[in-house]
Amino acid sequence: MSTSSAAKPNRVVRDIRIVNTLGLHARPASQLAQLAARYRADIHIRKGGDQVNAKSIMGIITLAAGQDTMLRFIASGPDAEEALSAIGKLVEDKFGED
């Protein structure tokens, strides 16, 4: 996981590797979207040339992110850092799987 601060003061970018065996299937996608929705920050996920809203379960599923996929999370807003920290912890904990 890497973190970088961009030019905007409330913008945080973090690369997070999906570590659970089954990747971002429906249940972890739901957990991720529900967690992202708790924050006021706009949160997007990038995989290659695709970008989706992290608060959209369907968007997350369309990424088809399997185990070991590196995703870039981009958050903008007053609680951007806190949001990406929580998301990083959820992924690190393998969404309660494995």
Looking from the CA of 61 toward its CB, the CA atoms found within 13 Å total 9
Residues with active-site annotation: 25
Do residues 97 and 30 lie in contact, with contact meaning Cβ atoms separated by under 8 Å?
no
The side-by-side arrangement of strands in the sheet containing 50-53 is: 2-5, 11-17, 70-76, 42-47, 50-53
Where do runs of H (alpha helix) occur along 19-79?
26-37, 57-62
